Structure 1
Amino acid sequence: MLKKGMSVLLTIVITLSIAACGKVETTEEWYDKNVDEIKSLDSEDYSDLEFLRPLLKDKRVVSLGENFHSVGDYRTIKTRLIKYLHEELGYDAIGFESGLGECEMVMNSKNLTAKQMMEYSILPVWHSQETLDLFNYIKEQKETDSPLDLFGFDMQFTSMYFVEYMAQWLEKVDEKVAEDYYNMEVEFFQSYYTLINKYGFDTGHREKYQKIIDKYTSDYDKVIEYIKDNRSTLEAIYRKNDMLVDSALRTLENRMNIVRMSMVDNVEGYEIRDVIMADNVKWYMKANPDKKIILWAHNDHIAKNTSQMLALENDEWVNSFVSMGELLSKELGNDMYVIGFYMQGGKASAITTQEPFNIPSVPKDSLEEIISRSGYKTSFVDLSQHKNKNKFNKWMFTNQYASEDGLTAEIIRSNVSQFIPKQQYDGIILLDQVSPPKK
């Protein structure tokens, strides 16, 4: 009986082994099984996005990156993804790489148009018709039982709306304090941007930036102390928003860090900023424990191990910085899903001038070219489920070159970034040909 059972078991094992050996998966078959097609950048029919449901339905955070800011099609598809995540998977907050205070004040305002909401809350680099579609949606959803909250996690100055709102708020308590605060903020930013426009982010002029810190630190400390001392009075003015005072405090407490970021080299400057951005995200999550959130930022801020990336700067490969994404990944682990965005070609707009330029074609065997072999116009590939390397997915586990703007450039450059894809992203979206934003 035992021998007969062993004989049957042996037969089964041999049969399975033969079947496995006989199943030869081709490269084309691998792409069919492992790369999903996103059929539209803007359709309200989300059936082609359903492959995302099992990957994202149980996450707390989904990060949407971009290898370059000024790409219209990125904004279009990200807006569609945000709507899908909100309507189908219950995500109810979208965080931007923009001012924390500005976003909070905008969401606390009732009579702004969608265009005003966009222009007052997020950095100008994203002001476009494509992004306006998202803000129309946010404004519409504010009136429903399932609003999509907007928050900022950056310490950078985004617009004067925070300053004006803050002055009006303080004025309800003390007109003189409000006037002094407003004048101080305006003077500070005039002094700071005069230096930035003259010297840029330059370690050679630290003493000039230090003078700004020395001059204004005590002024900001006084305003912060006043807000803390009058917290209950200020909170009573806007009873429905218990985050408003803390948003104001966090914004003002980081004013001098804007200056400090300008006094150091690029890597150190980014790290000052990204530590604060990660802290702002964690603060928002703690204050809203039931919310599922989406983050919108550059790939370099959301990737999971950016300090292991290499960036080509001045013809030398240098280590990138410890990013917000790396800090959050260590804390959130599998509760976060990170999606990097890349393109094969097309046109984009330069960061400062907004002049259109041609994106260089991606080189053969680059990350983008490898994914493009799917043949789709817009491809999504999940990396998170690939646990073992084989001949088809080995590119996920090995060093690859990709295109982006890098730490300092105004345009996209080919093969200026090196990294192991699986170390950085859970998924990647690749667009074929892209176009500049529509103003």
Structure 2
Amino acid sequence: MRKNILFIIMCMFLVSCGNEHEEVNEIRLGEPDPFAFIDPYIEGKTLIFLGESSHYTTEIPEVKLELIKYLVENHGVSVIAFESSSAETNYLNVHRDEFEANEMVEGIITSYFSAEPYVNMMEYVKSNERLQIVGLEAMPVGGQVDLGNDRLIKYIGEQLAPYDETNARLFINTEKSFQSFVNTVYDRGEELQDNIQWKDSLLDRYKRIYGEIEAVPSLHHIRSYIEDRMESLEVVFDPSFLDGYEMVHHEQENLSRRDLASKNNLRNVLETIEEDEKVIVWAHNMHIQKNNTSLHYIAPELKEMFDPHPLVLGSIIPDELKKKSYHIGIFFNHGRIYGHGEPWMIDRKVNVNEMEYQLHSYGFPLVFMDFSQAEHVNAWFHKSMITYYVGYLQYELIPSEQYDGVIFLEKVTELQ
């Protein structure tokens, strides 16, 4: 009996030492300052990347919101830069009082994301005047966006109508055509070079709309919106935008176009903040990795999307900025996600070479682990591990090469 007790005590001691040494921190939401442990890790950092292995869970955006609240209130975060279209997001940022939180979500992303966790995020934004939101993308994200029929585009059309109803209708129809153009060259896989006339026609229409309102002071935010669209067409959708980068196939080109544009937009955002302020980037894990060219894709679906490696925002930012950045990947073990129109069951990870299994082994339902200051040279996170895109598509990485730290959820449920 005494030997058993001593054995248990010794095990508890070793576990506690291991957790302390490996920078493992249980996250206890609902308690005061549940993220206070992160303070030393982000000291001196300007940019904090917050990833997610799936967009389609309830719990991940809930955790991210609580972390954002802590960072805003304790670390001078003044901007959240979303993986979303810059035109829509930037316009809604300055017109947040005219929109409900769910309408902001629909305008920034899609109506599908008008679910409680994201609506709560926008409610927090609306209640905090000094917290700004920006979009990093040069295009609406996702082919399911129905521009011209959502609340935001109708609202802009209503602002234009008193000055020129014809111009207002032209704006709405041009937005619809712009979305169709994006769907065609991005989601449907047609070559940009084959749609240059369409691109140029859209640009001419936006220039005409802009010219009609150029002298109206009260419409300066709409002019900024249209300037954003024109820049996307003139610069990002110009065939020369990716000159200097070897592109092998269409998927690689599209992903690279997105993230190179995001890099340029992020640079502009960072130029607007004060020295003691911080910026959060909210994006998928695959956009924030620090060294994506060292990843090895196993699932055929991932090979099709990411092999050869596209340009990735977290990997192509300048080295000086990387030194001022902290990259947090967010992963989960099992549960349900929303995929292909219905909930998908994600099985538990049971193999020691899986990153999610290693994180599960610490025994916490919600945990943060820092890699950047951990001292174990031979720790598992410095070795090649299997992990999962959206919970079920395998790829291989060395965790500490891609992230400075990770948040791990044992179980998730699909976004409702």
Normalised by the length of structure 1, the TM-score is 0.77
For residue 105 of structure 2, the aligned residue among 118, 121, 125 is 118
Q: What displacement does 1:183 show?
A: 2.5
For residue 79 of structure 1, the aligned residue among 65, 90, 98 is 65
Q: What displacement does 1:97 show?
A: 0.7
1:18-77 deviation per Cα after TM superposition (whole angstroms, max 9, x unaligned): xxxxxxx9465212442000012xx2x443311012222432111110111101110110
- Tell me the residue number matched to 1:9: none
- Tell me the residue number matched to 2:311: 322
Determine whether 1:424 maps to 2:402.
yes
SS of equivalent residue, structure 1 residue 56: coil
For residue 302 of structure 1, the aligned residue among 271, 288, 293 is 288
1:248-290 deviation per Cα after TM superposition (whole angstroms, max 9, x unaligned): 42333224857989x9522222111110011111112213345
**Cα pair 1:396 1:420 within 8 Å, conserved:** yes
- Tell me the residue number matched to 1:187: 177
Moved over 6 A (4+): 258-261
**Cα pair 2:181 2:198 within 8 Å, conserved:** no
- Tell me the residue number matched to 1:378: 366
SS of equivalent residue, structure 1 residue 157: coil
- Tell me the residue number matched to 2:332: 343
| Aligned 1:100-179 pairs, distance under 5 A | 100-109=86-95, 110-124=97-111, 126-142=113-129, 147-157=130-140, 160=147, 163-164=153-154, 166-168=156-158, 175-179=165-169
Q: 1:316 and 1:271 mapped to 2: Cα distance?
A: 15
**Cα pair 1:64 1:340 within 8 Å, conserved:** yes
1:394-433 deviation per Cα after TM superposition (whole angstroms, max 9, x unaligned): x22221110114xxxxxx315x111111111111111111
Determine whether 1:237 maps to 2:218.
yes
Q: What displacement does 1:221 show?
A: 4.1
**Cα pair 2:52 2:284 within 8 Å, conserved:** yes
Q: What displacement does 1:157 show?
A: 1.6
Q: Which amino acid aligns with 1:376?
A: F
Whichever of the two has the greater Rg, that structure is 1
RMSD: 3.1
Relative contact order, CA 8 A, sep 6+: which one is greater? Answer: 2
**Cα pair 2:52 2:285 within 8 Å, conserved:** yes
Return closer, same or farther for 1:222/1:437 CA change in 2, 3 Å cut-off.
Answer: closer
Q: Which amino acid aligns with 1:399?
A: S
SS of equivalent residue, structure 2 residue 200: helix
1:327-358 deviation per Cα after TM superposition (whole angstroms, max 9, x unaligned): 226341221111000111111111x41x1111
Task: Give the fraction of aligned pairs with identical amino acids, expressed as a percent.
Answer: 22
- Tell me the residue number matched to 1:213: 196
Q: 1:168 and 1:327 mapped to 2: Cα distance?
A: 40
